[in-house]
Amino acid sequence: MVLAAKEELKDYGNKQGAKDCSPRVIVIGHSMGARLLSRSIFSREYIKPELRECSPASQVDLFVGLQGAFSIKRFVKGAGWEGSPYAEYAEYSTVFSLTTSRHDNANPTARFISGARHVGGKYGLAYASKEENKGVFQVIKWTDSVEADSGKLSSRSERKVLMIDASSIVDGYDADTGVNKPDDAHNDILDEDMGRLIWLLIKGFAPFSYSAS
């Protein structure tokens, strides 16, 4: 199956005369998973492409960090005790998108111990919204309206990190079951609302259609 898929991709690349015949690569991580996967993207020199006829470098088309457990300062050059390992994000073709919520109170002591303002919480959101950081982050407020939110995503400024204030859906309330756990807002990502947000990101920034005809 894998070999057949590779041959099909090669054939597609030849038909289209395309230099990049790889499928779209979408990386989605929650909390610590977002921390680990985001760091892996910035270690791309260690990832080798298998299809030499295609793109000479591996790449991730879209990164979706759900309530990330890492400092927002990683994207800002010269900021933060843990350095700025993501400050060169603009050199990557990856669209970096992050969800955050004012209701996410996971690990609030990190700000006082290490100065980290975690992406997923209100401190990260406040930091990204500062005037001096507008050149790095584009903050949009999620409304959970497909039409409105699609319009906001389509207006994304290139070479900026997309910071999505998802407070309207990441609040601890599970609309699918009616269960309300405001203290567990950090984990409020397994429902239809978040699925819709992820799908709109994929549709907007990592679409891929292929017809054999």
Return the H-helix or E-strand segment holding 30: strand 26-30
Task: Please give the pLDDT value at position 209.
Answer: 57
3-state SS class at 95: strand
Structure token pair of residue 50? 């298998």
Q: How far apart are CA 140 and CA 135, in angstroms?
A: 14
Output the CA angle 154-202-90, nearest 5 degrees.
65
Task: Please give the pLDDT value at position 50.
Answer: 55
Closest CA to 126 of 181, 186, 73, 64: 73
For tokens 């309330």, name the residue: 173
Q: Which residues are registered as beta bridge partners of 26? A: 62
Task: Please give the pLDDT value at position 133.
Answer: 96
Task: Please give the pLDDT value at position 83.
Answer: 78
Task: Please give the pLDDT value at position 212.
Answer: 46
Q: How far apart are CA 128 and CA 115, in angstroms?
A: 14
Q: What is the pLDDT of residues 60-89, one digit of tens each?
A: 999 999 999 999 999 999 887 777 999 999
3-state SS class at 194: helix
Helix-strand-coil split of the chain, %, nearest 5: 35, 15, 50
**Checking DSSP bridges between strand 62-66 and strand 26-30, what pairing results, if any?**
parallel
pLDDT < 50: residue spans in the chain: 1-10, 12-16, 18, 52, 56, 211-213
Q: Give residue limits of the domains in the chain.
A: 24-205
Task: Please give the pLDDT value at position 7.
Answer: 45
Structure token pair of residue 57? 């470098």
Task: Please give the pLDDT value at position 211.
Answer: 46
**Checking DSSP bridges between strand 95-100 and strand 137-141, what pairing results, if any?**
unpaired
Q: How far apart are CA 164 and CA 91, in angstroms?
A: 21
